[in-house]
Chains A and B, each alone.
Chain A
Amino acid sequence: MSNFRTPLKKVKGLGSAKEGTSHFWAQRVTAIALVPLVLWLGFSIAALPGMDYVAIREWLSQPFNAIVMILFMSAGFYHARLGLQVVIEDYIGSHGPRTAAIIAVNFAAAALGVTGVFSVLRIALAS
Chain B
Amino acid sequence: MAWNDTRPLSPHLQHYKLPLTAYLSVAHRATGIVNSLAIVLLVLLIASAAGTPESYGFMSGIATSWFGKLILFGFTITLYYHMANGIRHLFWDVGHGFDVEVAKKSGKVCMAAAGVLSVITWLVALAA
Contact = CB atoms under 8 A, between A and B. Distances in A.
B46 interface: yes
Interface in B55-85: 56-57, 60, 63-64, 76, 79-80, 83
A43 B79 CA distance: 12
The number of chain B residues touching the other chain, given as a range, is 20 to 34
A122 interface: yes
Given A47-B124, A83-B32, A31 B90 contact: yes
B122 A46 contact: yes
Interface residues of A, number: 38
By DSSP majority rule, is chain B's interface helix, strand, loop, or mixed? helix
Main secondary structure of the interface of A (DSSP, over half): helix
Contacts of B90: 28, 31-32
Interface stretch (A2-10, A52-60, A95-103): A52-60
Contacts of B43: 73, 112-113, 115-116, 119
A84 B83 CA distance: 16
B111 interface: no
A112 B42 CA distance: 10
A104 to B, nearest CB: 13
Interface string A68-108: 01000100110010011001000000000000000000000
Contact of A35 (B39, B42, B76, B83): B83
B57 A83 contact: no
A26 interface: no
A80 B36 contact: yes
B121 A42 contact: yes
A52 B63 CA distance: 11
A80 B38 CA distance: 11
Given A32-B90, A60-B46, A77-B39, A42 B80 contact: yes
Contacts of B60: 51-53, 56
